Amino acid sequence: MQNFVQLLVFVAFIGLVGWTISNPFGRKQLQLKSREDWLIDGIGLTIQGMLIPLLQATLVYWLYHNLLPNQQGIIKLSPILAFILSFIFVDYLYYWNHRLLHSKFFWSVHQVHHTVTQMDVLGTSRNTAWTSLLIVYLWIHTLFLYLLADPTGYLLGVSLTSALDLWRHSRLMISANNWLYQFISSWLILPQDHAWHHCSEVYNCNYGANLKFWDKLHGTYYENQGLPSTIGIPSSLTLSQKLLFPFS
């Protein structure tokens, strides 16, 4: 099942990269990326796509095994409930985790992600090399995979969330006239929603990953079917600071 999760995320990534290359505007945006941006994004994708799953499967799993030696497989949920746990409950935890990253205490680290100047699937994982340690997914996913007797539904939720994360950082927009847009626009975070989160025109909005409900519930949702004129924030950080800040 874990192999299926990795395959689904990989297919989503390759599909979005392929669409970007085949799209004239997307191809032009890739050509405008600096070598530094290519390097930072490549390192970020390697960390998120390879090192973090490896860390989850080894060190973090070992940590829970030692802290909770008699709790492995103790939670018995149907695949549907396990999916809901992953796709909805953990999504709410991430909403607050994301807001915390925008607080004064953590913004100096998270700002690296907002140096992305175009909605680009390659920049999905742009962060310092250690920022993933501050993101709830690393810890909560491993915990539930350890505690659940049958993690199948939970893993499906993880894979869908990861695929949607790649999509919402892309420019693969769905037309407002499309039936699919009519179906998902009221509840699912779309690329145009996340683009407003990355702009400098509107602040403190659209923190959700999967669902718009959390932003609407807490008054942080900003709706606009168009796209902001400018993506990203000005930054004077050096390459080493973008990778290691504040340890550089």
Residue-wise pLDDT for 181-223, tens only, equals 999 999 999 999 999 999 988 888 999 999 999 999 999 999 9
Give, rounded to a whole angstrom, the gap between the first and last alpha carbons of the chain.
39
Interior/surface letters 194-231, b for 16+ CB within 10 angstroms, e for the rest: bbbbbbeeeeebbbbbbbbbbbeeeebbeeeeeebeeb
| Separation CA 200–CA 13 (nearest Å) | 27
- Residue 143 CB neighbour total at 10 angstroms: 18
Residue 2 has pLDDT above 60, yes or no: no
Q: Give the confidence band of 248 by pLDDT, cuts at 50, 70, 90.
A: low
Take residue 23 and report the two structure tokens written for it.
């799209």
**What are the pLDDT digits (tens) for 132-165?**
999 999 999 999 999 999 999 999 999 999 999 9
Backbone angles phi, psi at 149, to 5 degrees: -70, -40
- Measured in residues, the chain has a length of 248
Mean pLDDT, range 80-91, rounded to an integer: 97
List of residues 6+ apart from 88 with CB closer than 8 A? 210, 211
Using an 8 Å Cβ cutoff, are 166 and 160 in contact?
no
Torsion of CA 49, 51, 53, 59, to 10 degrees: -170
Neighbour count for residue 5 (Cβ, 10 Å): 19
Q: If you average pLDDT over residues 159-188, what whole number do you get?
A: 91
The residue type of 113 is H
The conformation of residue 226, written as its DSSP 8-state character, comes to S
| DSSP-derived 3-state class of residue 188 | strand
The ranges assigned to domains in the chain are 2-244
This prediction has a pTM of 0.92
**Which three-class secondary structure string do you get for 54-77?**
HHHHHHHHHHHHHHCCCCCCCECC
